[in-house]
Structures are given as structure tokens and as C-alpha cells.
Amino acid sequence: MDMNGLFRKYHIRLIWEGILKSAVYGFIAGFAVNFVIAFVTWFTVFNGFWLAICAGLGVAAVTATALYFFVFRPTTKQIAERIDALGLEERMITMNELKNSTSYIAMRQREDATAKLGAVTSKQIKFCVSVASVVAVAVLAVFGIGMTTVTELSAKGVVPPGHEVVDPILPDKFYEVNYETFDEQNEIVGLGGMIEYGDPMQVVEEGKDAEPVMAVAEDGWTFLGWFYEDGEPASDSENPARQDKNIREDMTLYAHFARVEPAEDDDDGSGEGDGDEAEDQPQEGDSSGDNNEDQQPGSSAGGQYEEGNYIKDGNTYYKEDWDKYYEEMLKRLAEDGNLTDEMRQIIEDYFKIIE
């Protein structure tokens, strides 16, 4: 029995359904490729407008053709099943299975099935395309066409390229800024002083400023300057207070210190005993030896005392010189427009420490 001739009009209906399904899934693949190529070329100087369109159409055509011939092309059995779904209670399936049989029962079954088939039309077979696939092709079409348009506009300079849009929203870069002390004479890290008024180990966002720091020498040491790891002096290296700005890379700076050689004592020790004896004796004009605090600067008393103990080397009063330099320092801080308020405060605190 010629089943193809009997099912012809239903077969054509299902062929169109298979073509429709193949096209839907083909466009899903095509628009996906179209979007990817357009998105990638948006970040480059290459104009990917036509490449995205041609690649998308090519992938859609190949995918749809392959799907039709290998997945959605209707067979005689599938046609019979779809017709039976209209209420023929598996008559078409049975007739297809017995199409080569010459038995009486098979002949009567075919006669009954053929009569029932005349009661249904091909238009009663509805196209079956999943809602999910239709939604997917619609969404991808919007993204693909939209991204292709953006790529073309970017190539013409109407909209910025991808890297200019994405870079500002990417996570910020951070760099390590470390400050160390260094004994220049013995080449030992960690000797000679300390880092104060700031964190010696900092993590700074790219382009931002590091926290201000200050290198303070220990007793018996002197500050020499700031140097990089390779030994090159840093900018404004002679200033113990510094603030590195616009950080763009990891960096380590070393505050170099050197020991201060003690001054030679004018007393060679030969008069040590006499000196001790003199200390035990009361000063002239003061029999008790307990009223040194009443003496004024410049008196003939053996030893000088001033408020704040501004004495160095045991006998030099430097209060007036200190006040002069301190006022000069405050004047320079006020006139220096490059210093921040925080840096000014650090320098003032440093001078108060060494006062």
C-alpha cells in the first residue's frame, strides 16, 4: 500500500513544521554567534559589523539544515502518530505496520482506517514549536542585532569602544608601598631609626597617594636620606618626612641612617678626681649649694640652668637659637603650598619631639 500517497497532504504539513523548528533553532545559534563576534570586535579597532552578520547567517543556515535532515524531517511513522493524535485511536499506526500484509484482517483494517482518515484534514495538525525556543530566539535576536549596531556605531566614533566603557567599572588595582630603615654603614635593614606617623606597610589604590610617613633617627644615629631598592635616591630624599603620590607600581623605600661619632671630650681624665671634688663643694656665694635654681643665665656660677633644660654638651644653652630656628621652620611651612595639612602637622610634631 502506498502510504506516502495516502499521507501526502499531512506529510507536507509536517515538513513545514520541521522547517519552522529547524529555522528557530538555527536562528538561536546564529544570533548567539552574531552577538559574540560583535561583542568581541567592539573591544578592538577592527570593525566587525559585516563579519558578525555574515557569520551569524552562515551558522544559522548550516544549523537549520543539519537539524532538519537529522532531527525534524518527518517520517511515515511520525506522520501516522500525529494523525492518530486527532482521535483516530492508533488506526494510522496499525495500518502503517500492516501495509505489506495481504491478510483479510489487514485489508479490513486499512479500509476502516482510510474511511476514518477522510474525516480529518491536514489543517487540524497544529505546528508544535516550544515556547522556550521562541523566547530564546527573540532574546538573542535583540542582543545580537543590538550588539552589531553598537559595533558599527563604535567604528564610526558615535559611541565609545568597549574598553573605554568597561575599564572604569573593573575592580581597582592596588599596590604595596613599604618603608624600611637601613644602616648604611653596615648594610643592615632595620637599624638606625624607625618609621613614625604612618604605616610602614601600605596597600594603596592605583593613582592614589600613600599615607605620610616620617623617618626618626635613634639616639646616636643621624638620618641620611630616602633611597630606592636599587640605591637611587628618592625625590626630596633629604627630608625625613615624605608622602609618595600617584602610586602606579609596587615600591619599597629605605630611610638610610648612619652612626654619629661621639665628640672627643676635652677632659682627658687627668682631672677626674679634682672634678669630683669640685662637684662636692658649694658654689661661690652659696654656702649651702642648694640654691642653684635661683641663678640666672650668664651668672658666674659653675653651671647653667634654664627652663626646659635647653643644654647640650653639658654647658651650652641653645634656647634662643632653637626659638629662632623653630620660628623659621613655622614660617617655611606656612609659605610652602605643596604641603598638606597632615604633612605640616607631622613636621611640627617632629620638631616638638627633638626640642
Of 95, 98, 125, whose CA–CA distance to 113 is shortest? Answer: 95
Is residue 194 helix, strand or coil?
strand
Is residue 330 within a helix (H) or strand (E), and if so which, with residue range?
A: helix 319-335
pLDDT bucket at 332, cuts 50 / 70 / 90: confident
> Rounded distance, CA 177 to CA 193, Å?
19
Segment 6-27, tens digit of pLDDT: 888 899 999 999 999 999 999 9
Coil, strand, or helix at residue 157?
Answer: coil
The predicted pLDDT at position 72 comes to 94
pLDDT of residue 264: 57
pLDDT band of residue 271 (cuts 50, 70, 90) is very low
Length in residues, the chain: 355
pLDDT of residue 283: 46
Q: pLDDT digit string (tens) for 105-120?
A: 888 988 888 888 888 8
Residue 75 has pLDDT above 80, yes or no: yes
| Cβ-contact 221, 208 below 8 angstroms | no
pLDDT band for 30, please (50, 70, 90 cuts).
very high
317 touches 306 (CB < 8 A): yes
Please give the Cα distance from 279 to 282 (Å, whole number): 8
Q: How far apart are CA 41 and CA 271, in angstroms?
A: 91
Averaged confidence pLDDT in the chain: 81
- DSSP labels for 298-320? T-SSSS---TT--EETTTEE-HH
Q: Where are the alpha helices (DSSP H) in 45-185?
A: 49-67, 76-84, 91-97, 104-117, 131-155, 162-166
Predicted confidence at residue 286, as pLDDT, reads 46
Residue 260 has a pLDDT of: 87
Alpha-carbon separation of residue 135 from 25, 213, 350 (angstroms): 11, 61, 71
Distance CA 191, CA 259 (A): 10
Tell which wins on pLDDT, 179 or 289: 179
Cα angle, residue 293 at apex, residues 291 and 295 outer, rounded to 5°? 85
Summarize the confidence of residues 157-163 as an average pLDDT.
Answer: 88
Question: Residue with C-alpha cell 618626612?
Answer: 241
Each residue's pLDDT tens digit, 334-353? 777 667 777 777 777 777 66
User: Would you state the pLDDT for residue 318?
Assistant: 58
Please report the pLDDT score of residue 23 as a whole number. Answer: 97
Starting at the earlier edge strand, list the strands of the sheet with 241-242: 193-196, 213-217, 241-242
- Taking the whole predicted model, whether its pTM rises above 0.75 is answered as no
Q: How far apart are CA 32 and CA 56, in angstroms?
A: 8
Residues 6+ apart with CB under 8 A from 318: 310, 311, 312
- Rg (C-alpha) for the chain, rounded Å, is 48
Q: Is the pLDDT at 58 greater than 60, yes or no?
A: yes
Q: What is the pLDDT of residue 165?
A: 80
Mutual angle of helices 131-155 and 49-67, in 10-degree steps: 160
Question: 214-263 pLDDT, tens per residue?
Answer: 999 998 899 999 999 888 999 888 999 999 999 999 999 999 999 987 65
Q: What is the pLDDT at residue 277?
A: 45
Q: Is 307 left (phi over 0), alpha (psi -120 to 50) or beta?
A: beta
Q: Which helix (H) or strand (E) holds 176?
A: strand 174-183
Can you tell me the mean pLDDT for 177-181? Answer: 94
Tens of pLDDT, residues 275-306: 444 444 444 444 444 444 444 444 433 444 44
Question: Of all residues in the chain, what percent carry a pLDDT higher than 70?
Answer: 78
pLDDT tens digits, one per residue of 128-153: 999 999 999 999 999 999 999 999 99
Task: Say whether pLDDT at 273 is over 60.
Answer: no
- Cα separation, 110 vs 117, in Å, equals 10
Residue type for position 162: G
- Of the two residues 309 and 171, the one the predictor is more confident about is 171
